[in-house]
């Protein structure tokens, strides 16, 4: 198997993204893991062996003010995201990895979708199921609902959506190299609804979704009380590779407590691998050369693994 080619974007030019990418490029294992097509400003980082600059509209962009978001850096980021996914779509790269973005800048720059995942789906004209997956070393999470008000979660749940979320994370885990992923599914209510005393979504919606997955051959268990699902998952014996949650913070709080500076976001379900660090642009330390690159390294490593799988699929 030849090295995968990774399209790599330096992220928000006003944040820590260029610094993180520079530290990644200076890392010998990253240079050996893949061929890199670098998307960014020509003066923002110094390229390394196995790296080629991508010629695009932002290559000669002037320096952006540090720790400041506006329509200019938002439009720059949107253009770069389009370049990255186009390289993979057109067969010039096998995965896309990007440094942190600033959502406020993206909106000012013209991104009107809920988040960059929905923007990717619309840009690619992809109509299938997709959603954010969060990864912390060997533990993955998906969620049935995402960036919505908590009061809306219950009415947005369905057995089909539970199944879709289980199937999506199972496919992504397989693409990352886990041949038989085991999944735990969270309930919604306190104490898993206590047999319907605190809500019946577990009985009427979530359990049937888990059963649909089991019938489809996906090793999924639950629903489990959400306050113990992650305890079950990280057990050395009988643990799980992934946890399916019902709403955003149900999984995010646990994952960020376990390793905020290590986490990776995977844009699951899309027809190509796309990864990024789970943390933000850290304007408060931008330009100080103190940003921890571990999540960036992890995002790139995962892009390489999933890129190799994608390379096999399209060969």
**Distance between CA atoms of residues 158 and 207, nearest Å:** 10
Is 192 found in the same domain as 98? no
Please check whether residue 58 lies inside any domain of the structure.
yes
Q: What is the residue whose two structure tokens read 């406020």?
A: 104
For residue range 131-163, list pLDDT tens digits in order: 999 999 899 999 999 989 999 999 999 999 999
Is 22 found in the same domain as 113? yes
Is 106 found in the same domain as 6? yes
Please check whether residue 195 lies inside any domain of the structure.
yes
Is 117 found in the same domain as 2? yes
* 52, 102, 193, 194 from 197: Cα distances, Å: 60, 42, 6, 5
Beta strand extents in 15-128 (DSSP E only): 35-39, 51-53, 95-98
Is 145 found in the same domain as 105? no
Is 254 found in the same domain as 218? yes
Is 85 found in the same domain as 2? yes
Position 227 scores a pLDDT of 92
* 41, 86, 99, 151, 184 from 36: Cα distances, Å: 15, 15, 14, 43, 35
* CATH number where 176 lies: 3.40.718.10
Look at the chain and report how many structural domains it folds into.
2
**Distance between CA atoms of residues 164 and 168, nearest Å:** 6
Is 18 found in the same domain as 110? yes
Judged against a pLDDT cut of 90, whether residue 114 lies above it is answered with: no
For residue range 48-87, list pLDDT tens digits in order: 888 999 999 999 999 999 999 999 999 999 999 999 999 9
* 77, 109, 137, 224 from 72: Cα distances, Å: 9, 6, 35, 46
Q: Quick one: which of 168, 154, 156, 180 has its CA closest to 117? A: 168
Please check whether residue 161 lies inside any domain of the structure.
yes
Please check whether residue 17 lies inside any domain of the structure.
yes
Instruction: Select the more confidently predicted residue: 272 or 237.
Output: 272
Please check whether residue 48 lies inside any domain of the structure.
yes
Judged against a pLDDT cut of 70, whether residue 1 lies above it is answered with: no
Is 61 found in the same domain as 175? no
77, 101 contact by CB (below 8 A):
yes
Position 86 scores a pLDDT of 98
Is 29 found in the same domain as 87? yes
Is 210 found in the same domain as 109? no
Position 112 scores a pLDDT of 95
For residue range 265-308, list pLDDT tens digits in order: 999 999 999 999 999 999 999 999 999 999 999 999 999 999 99
Is 122 found in the same domain as 90? yes
Judged against a pLDDT cut of 90, whether residue 201 lies above it is answered with: yes
Of 242, 261, 280, the residue that ends a domain is: 261
Please check whether residue 257 lies inside any domain of the structure.
yes
Position 48 scores a pLDDT of 87
pLDDT band at 260 (very low <50, low <70, confident <90, very high): confident
Judged against a pLDDT cut of 70, whether residue 109 lies above it is answered with: yes
282, 11 contact by CB (below 8 A):
no
The boundaries of the domain holding residue 254 are 138-261
Judged against a pLDDT cut of 90, whether residue 315 lies above it is answered with: no
Please check whether residue 190 lies inside any domain of the structure.
yes
Instruction: Select the more confidently predicted residue: 284 or 313.
Output: 284
Position 61 scores a pLDDT of 96
Please check whether residue 133 lies inside any domain of the structure.
no
């Amino acid at each position: 198997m030849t090295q995968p080619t990774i399209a790599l974007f330096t992220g928000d030019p006003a944040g820590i993204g260029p610094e993180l990418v520079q530290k990644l490029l200076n890392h010998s294992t990253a240079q050996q893991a893949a061929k890199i097509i670098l998307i960014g400003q020509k003066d923002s980082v110094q390229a390394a062996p196995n790296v080629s600059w991508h010629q695009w509209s932002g290559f000669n962009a002037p320096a952006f003010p540090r720790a400041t978001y506006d329509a200019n850096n938002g439009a720059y980021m949107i253009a770069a995201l389009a370049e990255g996914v186009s390289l993979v779509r057109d067969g010039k790269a096998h995965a896309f990895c990007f440094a942190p973005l600033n959502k406020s800048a993206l909106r000012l720059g013209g991104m009107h979708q809920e988040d960059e995942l929905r923007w990717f789906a619309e840009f690619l004209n992809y109509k299938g199921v997709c959603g954010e997956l969060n990864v912390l070393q060997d533990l993955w999470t998906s969620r049935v609902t995402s960036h919505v008000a908590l009061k809306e979660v219950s009415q947005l749940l369905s057995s089909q959506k539970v199944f879709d979320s289980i199937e999506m994370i199972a496919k992504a885990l397989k693409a990352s190299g886990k041949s038989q992923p085991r999944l735990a599914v969270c309930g919604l209510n306190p104490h898993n609804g206590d047999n319907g005393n605190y809500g019946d979504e577990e009985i009427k919606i979530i359990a049937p979704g888990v059963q649909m997955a089991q019938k489809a051959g996906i090793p999924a268990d639950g629903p489990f009380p959400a306050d113990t699902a992650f305890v079950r998952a990280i057990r050395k014996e009988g643990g799980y590779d992934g946890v399916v949650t019902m709403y955003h913070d149900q999984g995010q709080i646990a994952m960020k407590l376990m390793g905020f500076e290590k986490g990776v976001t995977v844009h699951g379900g899309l027809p190509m691998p796309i990864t990024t660090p789970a943390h933000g642009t850290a304007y408060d330390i931008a330009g100080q050369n103190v940003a921890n690159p571990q999540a960036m390294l992890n995002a790139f490593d995962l892009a390489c693994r999933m890129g190799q799988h994608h390379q096999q699929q399209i060969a």
